[in-house]
Amino acid sequence: MSAVIVETPRPARSVEVETAVLDIVENALRNARHEMDAVVLRTAMSPGIREQHDAFPLIADRSGRMVAGQFGSFIDGFLSAYDGTVEEGDVFFTSDPYACDGAISHANDWLVLLPIYCEGALVGWAAMFGHMSDVGGKVPGSLPTDALSIHEEGVIVPPVKLFRAGTLDQQLLDTVLNQVRLPSWNRADLNAVLASCRTAETRVRELCDRFGVDAYLSMLELLLERNRQAMAKLFRQVVPEQPVTFEDFVDDDGRGEGPFRIRCTLWRDGDRVVLDFAGTSDQADGSINFLLNENVLRMFFGVYTIMAVDPLILFNDGFYPLVDVRIPEGSLLKPRRPAALSCRTHALGRLFDVLAGLLGQCRPDFLCAAGFSSSPHLMYSGVDRFGKWFQLYQIGFGGVPARPVGDGFDGHSMWPSFTNVPNEYLEAYYPLRIEAYESVPDSGGAGLHRGGNGIRVAYRFLEPGQVSIHDDRWFTKPWGVLGGEPGQRGTKLLERTDGSQQVLPAKCDHVAVRPGDVLHFVTWGGGGWGDPIERDPQQVQEDVERGLVTTEGARRYGVALDGDGLDRDRTRALRAEMAAAGRKPLRFNRGGTLEELTARCLAETGLTPPRDPSLTRVRDEPAATPGATETRRPVGGARREIVRPGGAGERPQAPGNTPLEALVYRIARQVTGR
Amino acid sequence: MYRLGVDVGGTFTDVLLIEEATGKTRRTKVPSTPQDQSVGVIEGVTRVLADAQVRAADIRQFLHGTTVATNAVLERRGARVGLIVTVGYRQVLHIARSFVPGGLGGWIVWDRPAELVALEDVREIRGRMDFRGEEIEPLDEQAVRAAVHQLVDRGVDALAIGFVNSYANPAHELRAAGIAAAAAPGLPVSTSAGVLPELGEYERTLTTVANAYVRPDVGVYLRNLSDKLVSEGLVGERRVLRSDGGLMTFERAEDIPVSLLMSGPAGGVAAAVALGPAAGYRDLLTLDMGGTSTDVALIEDGVPVIRRETTVADLVVRAPSIDVQTVGAGGGSIAHVPALTGALRVGPASAGALPGPAAYGRGGVLPTVTDANVVLGYLPRALLGGAMPLDIEKARTAVGSVANGLGVSVEAAAAAIIDIVNENMLGALRLVSVQRGYDPRRFALFGFGGAGPLHANALARLLGSWPVVIPQSPGVLCAYGDASTGVRAEANRSLLRPLDDIDEGRLQREFADLAAQITTEFDRADVPDDARAVRFEADVRYHGQGFEVSVDVGSSRHEALIPKLRSGFDEAHQRLFGFTLKEQHEVVNIRAVGVSGAERIKPVEIEQGGRDAQRALIGGQQVYVDGGWQDASLYDRTALRAGNELRGPAIVVEMDSTSLVLPGCVARVDRLGNLLILPAEDGVVS
């Protein structure tokens, strides 16, 4: 099977190109890519696209290599697998991660792919995908924690023609939209994605008109080659021939098993860089699997490496042949169909912590701590008093880690262009109030450079409904580096109107809430960088005045404060004492081994520790064909909720004896102001 | 009677005196006085009045573009602001919607600028409105009082109040402002609903804080200037230019100084609005290229596109401004070739005024855009009427470093630098035109600023925007803009309702309320009744979208507005994005915009001449174009006559700028003295 390109044959001619003209085309492609973003953001309806900018553009050359964009090109794979024609006016559409090598990684991402023609010849491709708020399936938002296969995660559209030679397949579209809960949003979002591809099409055609098709295509070759050469130089500077290894974890799969290991070894062999994921855990039963496209990883790796050197380099596929990516089949990062994929966000995010850990070992001046490496979500849905269906999809933000250049940021995003949805917007459109929106003091890891704090958002629900949560780093800690301490983990606390308080698991669905209930969604902080006792005490005191560090928290920096401010004598004494205690600054501080974290888990988090999947699991062979009937064991027994009812309407009067009680007390104290 | 236009730039303060009856002008340039801009202004004013032998009492209007607010933000030396917020929202500006600029991994290198208000100067107060404006919890007035005292004790010199949902009901904010006024008399207070009654707690609070931040500086400056002007006998109306290109009274400016942040660039666009249509071109792209950056904007049918936000460096606030896109591309932009990629980059780093381009001979050695222009022969041997010679050898040496990096000749390297800087400006021009759904080919390109006239012809070729219009004295145009625009006022309200749920009568009443606010402001500015015009706009979107499109529903309140909003939005959506939806329309904000008809300055016509421009010819030099050297003629702009035609390649020199006419193009001088550049094949209509 392979796609047949229908076009007017034209002899390919290579054309001499001046550097300046090449730079013009490079700039023009970069502008076109930004235009694609602008169009999709302004017209989409899903908050995930509008505010979180969960939509990714791509402009590719004739053979499908990315020349501008943000996700690795899969078009080559698509062309070889697609059994049909490609004609002018066609628009392809898919939401099947398994059918595009993971170019999209869950069924919520709808991908549009448009061949660009000029003078009857195929000159390139435009593609864009966006995260739909809902694509059907078993839970609102289509990100079910307990799914055992992708078939529970909503409608899956194989690569099909949405337009055939310029004509929309209305029946196809109607059929797909009939599967989802908010069809009007999907319709708008799909239009937005399509409009943005059309924009790229127009720009590429203009470039072809301006410079000629031959010159344009020749220039793309040169751009790819220029990038390859630049990256080869860069890799030789950054990546050693001696292998370095790093690993990090996704805490659990929402079914009681975990943590899942992501392990990667990096080395260089001549000009070629190898990223080998041998040692990564097997795929999970639950929906945390991340179908990782090799090109996506190449892009991530390239971008990270390039960041400090020449941020104006246009990312393209040129350097991809230099990077060898090895991912074991059947692992968390290369699950077999039909493994569930919807909640892959944590594995995706954690990959960046792993890359940071690898590159930081190659170049210590580049070493950042672990940060808010995920996009945890909250869903709240139901039928309001007017009989209207509401469905909220919120993404959480957290602590950016401390960096070689300075502190991390409190309650920020580590993904490009993400912003929160204004709370006033939420209050106007959903039956809830946001009673607090602030970073959590001391949640960032202490260090010479302080890790950014996580955020506490207090949602007061005003209508009965159900809540789903998908978060992580409740069990393992965001590690600090070079003597910096780890950041605090995330937690979810539900306060009922009767005064009872309940720690919710980081991943749960179908939690019933009543009017008046308050959910404290607390995210994790970033790790610290460098030895905290080297931080300027003045700076620590300022952090305390700003409410970012508490007086007790200042002691982690060896800083003593009294009512009037800095107590210099006690600070000096405290620091001397800490220095004398023979502390050894760790390169990576994870806050304990897995065994230690397991032992302390219940006491510290209020949740039972996850079970090691390699010990407890009897793996069923997944069904090989799509559409196979689900035969897995039913969900159950995995729910771990600890309910700690307080006295009716009362708040804890003093910090409790266990860390959990202290935690609950602290959060409650913040809410009530007493 | 006369009017005075005064524009304070980074280096010079321009003062333009206009005789209203004849349109005759006289200008003066004095050095700017950054410590206290009013010193330079008064110096310029007294000088121009003395030169023209005009009495201060005969100045009917003093019209002023100022960068006081802009500089306070850029240099982070505004007021120490205290902020009072709803409990739970202390960090609303600190978290800043969680946004980190840059691409993937941008957080690794982001150097976050200092916040306008320090977290230790933020206080939380109990009291809550819901989104309908209904009180859920009463305001804790005692706590407000205590917070104001605390903040004053800490040394704040301006107060901002931003409560959640105040856009729906400002009662708590107004009450808190009242308490603050009583507790700390004289402390300037800005309330968020007063500054920006729109949904979005972060943007509204930030805009309010920015307002408070620049308020003392602007207030002191304007009051000081006012006093000095009055003591000079200048008692006429005093107005200042808003970021959206309209004027407002000094008093109003003190209340909402946040609307002055782009007063500077707005002056140039206002001048284009006055001069373009007078030359017969109502659809214009403006290109204002200076030493470090270039501002571009779009004017459609004589009206500039207004955005709902203003950007100054890293600060983005919700205050209306002309949709000016700024790129870091100017005469001083530095070219370099990074070793890693071997690609040629130009800007955004700039050689600035010092050391400046290598050709200026002030110690600069890095190759700049100006140096490339010198190498290519596009600039005369000396600038400023001969007062400032250019060092060609130094320019060639500087550009030579780029030539070595690229492995090409010095001329080819210079041409490449010009191509890249033009491409950067092209990106900005496309942003305001193509990306907003406008076809640049139906716009004329209005080039000004020190370097705009040098690059405009090349950009017109790339965009297809003909003719290039280069006004007289293009280097000092802003003062003319300040003096030639009208008063502007806006009144807003967040509505946030589906269009289907709004009844026509209610909407009419809402607009009438907003119109009444405009009337009050017009009254205060003494705008004559017959010069007043009010039109209405609504920000509309499909229910569920996150961005709105402003729909102009005109000035008549006698026709049904709702159908107009619906069709107007659909048309705009189709134009901008290429599709419409069958979704419900939602009205987010409504707005009344009052504009007083500018009291037009009568344009002065220059002397008529024939096609032959021989009398203005002052010499010739070689220019490097399209890969080779050609002979170009040099003309003295002041000697040109209406009807003269200049065949490219030609260089037109004047005191403050140099214009380049490329081969294959012809420049004609129109009756107002503008240069109109067109491709030769299109012929020149005389």
pLDDT digits (tens, 9 = 90+) for B567-625: 999 998 888 888 888 888 999 999 999 988 766 677 788 999 999 999 999 999 999 99
Whether residue B621 lies inside any domain: the answer is yes
The two tokens of residue A292 are 């990782």
pLDDT tens digit sequence for B126-180: 999 999 999 999 999 999 999 999 999 999 999 999 999 999 999 999 999 999 9
Instruction: Looking at the structure, tell me whether residues B561 and B509 fall in a common domain.
Output: yes
Are A435 and B88 an interchain contact pair (Cβ–Cβ within 8 Å)?
yes
CA distance A148 to chain B (A): 31
Same domain, B303 and B378: yes
Q: What is the DSSP letter of B258?
A: G
Q: Output the pLDDT for position A312.
A: 57
The CATH number of the domain holding residue B547 is 3.30.1490
Same domain, B165 and B110: yes
Tell if the CB–CB gap between A188 and B545 is shorter than 8 Å.
Answer: yes
Instruction: Return the DSSP state at B557.
Output: S
Higher-confidence residue: B128 or A313?
A: B128
State which of B187, B207, B231 marks the end of a domain. Answer: B187
B685, B586: one domain: no
Domain boundary (A198, A230, A262) is at: A230
Q: Is residue B478 part of a domain?
A: no
A264 domain-assigned = no
- Please report the residues numbered 471 through 500 in chain B whose beta carbons come closer than 8 angstroms to any beta carbon of chain A: 496
C-alpha dist (Å) from residue B43 to B29, B49, B50, B660 = 10, 10, 11, 34
Taking the C-alpha atoms of residue A361 and residue A354, their distance in angstroms, rounded to an integer, is 11
Task: List B residues 202-221 in contact with A (Cβ-Cβ < 8 A).
Answer: 202-203
Say if residues A135 and A187 touch (Cβ distance below 8 Å).
Answer: no
- Residue A561, domain member (yes or no): no
* Number of Cα atoms under 13 Å in the Cβ half of residue A522: 29
Same domain, residue pair B540 and B641: no
B-chain residues near A427 (CB < 8 A): 130-131, 164-165
Give the range with max mean pLDDT: B24-38, B137-151, B396-410.
B137-151
> What's the pLDDT at A666?
57
Task: Please indicate, yes or no, whether residues B431 and B554 belong to a single structural domain of this protein.
Answer: no
Which residues contact residue B26 at a Cβ distance below 8 angstroms, ignoring those fewer than 6 apart? B16, B17, B48, B51, B52
Q: CATH number, domain at B301?
A: 3.30.420.40
DSSP string, A580-632: HTT----SEE-SS-HHHHHHHHHHHHSSPPPBPHHHH--PPPPPSSTTPPP-S
Residues B399 and B294 in one domain: yes
Q: What is the Cα–Cα distance from A497 to A520, expressed in whole angstroms?
A: 14
Q: Is the pLDDT of residue A674 over 50?
A: no
| Partners of residue B100 in chain A, C-beta under 8 Å | 400, 409, 412-414, 416, 418
Whether B200 sits inside 8 A of A425 (CB atoms) is yes
What pTM value is reported for the model? 0.86
Same domain, B335 and B367: yes
Contact B119 A545 (CB under 8 A): yes
pLDDT of residue A668: 53
Give A502-533 pLDDT, tens digit per residue: 999 999 999 999 999 999 999 999 999 999 99
Would residue B241 count as lying in a domain?
no
Burial class of B401 by CB neighbour count within 10 A (0 to 12, 13 to 18, 19+): middle
The residue from B434, B466, B498 where one domain ends is B466
Give B13: exposed, middle or buried? Use CB within 10 Å, 0-12, 13-18, 19+. buried
Domain-ending residue, one of B187, B222, B256: B187
Judge whether B464 and B438 are in contact, CB under 8 Å: no
pLDDT above 80 (res A38): yes
Residue of chain A whose Cα is closest to the Cα of B121:
A546
Looking at the domain assignment, is residue A266 inside a domain? Answer: no
d(CA A305, CA A352): 12
Query: Are residues A547 and B90, on separate chains, in Cβ contact within 8 Å?
Result: yes
In a domain, A547, yes or no: no
Please name the residue of chain B whose CA is at the shortest distance from the CA of residue A410: B95
How many structural domains is chain A composed of? 2
Is residue B351 within 8 A of residue B331, CB to CB? The reply is no
With CB atoms and an 8 Å threshold, state whether B164 touches A424.
yes
Domain membership of residue B518 as a residue range = 488-596
- Say if residue A201's pLDDT is above 90: yes
Cβ contacts from A onto B, under 8 A: 227
Q: Please name which of A55, A53, A52, A58 lies closest in space to residue A70, comparing C-alpha atoms.
A: A58
Reported as a pLDDT band with limits 50, 70 and 90, residue B497 is confident
Same domain, B650 and B633: yes
Q: Which residues of B touch A26 (CB under 8 A)?
A: 343
What number is the average pLDDT over the span B392-406? 94
Confidence of residue A663 (pLDDT cuts 50, 70, 90): low
Confirm whether B357 is domain-assigned.
Answer: yes
Please give the distance of CA A177 from its chain centroid, rounded to a whole number.
26
A645 phi and psi angles, rounded to 5 deg: -65, 135
Residue of B nearest to A406 (CA): B111
* Token code pair at residue A483: 């003597």
Please say whether the beta carbons of B40 and B32 come within 8 A.
yes
Q: Which of A208, A230, A252 is the last residue of a domain?
A: A230
Do B639 and B514 belong together in one domain? Answer: no
- Residues B393 and B529 occupy one common structural domain: no
The number of folded domains in chain B is 4
Q: Is residue B306 part of a domain?
A: yes
pLDDT digits (tens, 9 = 90+) for B329-385: 888 899 998 776 677 888 878 887 678 899 988 888 999 999 999 999 999 988 777
Burial class (CB in 10 A: 0-12, 13-18, 19+), B208: buried
**Amino acid letter, A285:** D
% of chain B at pLDDT higher than 90:
60
Range of the domain at A610: 368-531+589-617+639-674
Q: Please indicate, yes or no, whether residues B84 and B162 belong to a single structural domain of this protein.
A: yes
Tokens standing for residue B671: 């009756």
* Distances from the Cα of A75 to the Cα of A78, A81, A102, A191, A201, angstroms: 5, 10, 11, 21, 16
Which residues touch A106 (CB under 8 Å, ≥6 apart)? A97, A143, A153, A341, A342, A343, A344
In a domain, A103, yes or no: yes
Smallest Cα–Cα separation from B197: which of B134, B133, B263, B124?
B133
The better pLDDT of the pair A625, B73 is held by B73
Contact B416 A371 (CB under 8 A): no
Give me the pLDDT at residue B485, please: 83
Residue A281 in any domain: the answer is no
The residue of chain B nearest to residue A430, with distances taken between CA atoms, is: B131
Please check the confidence at residue A310 and state whether its pLDDT lies above 60.
no
Report percent pLDDT > 90 for chain A. Answer: 64
Q: Using DSSP, state whether A552 is helix, strand or coil.
A: helix
Percentage of chain A beyond pLDDT 70 is 89
Residues in chain B: 686
Asked if the structure places residue A669 within a domain, the reply is yes
Sorting pLDDT into bands at 50, 70 and 90, what band is A55? confident
Q: Which of B136-150, B492-506, B542-556 has the lowest mean pLDDT?
A: B542-556
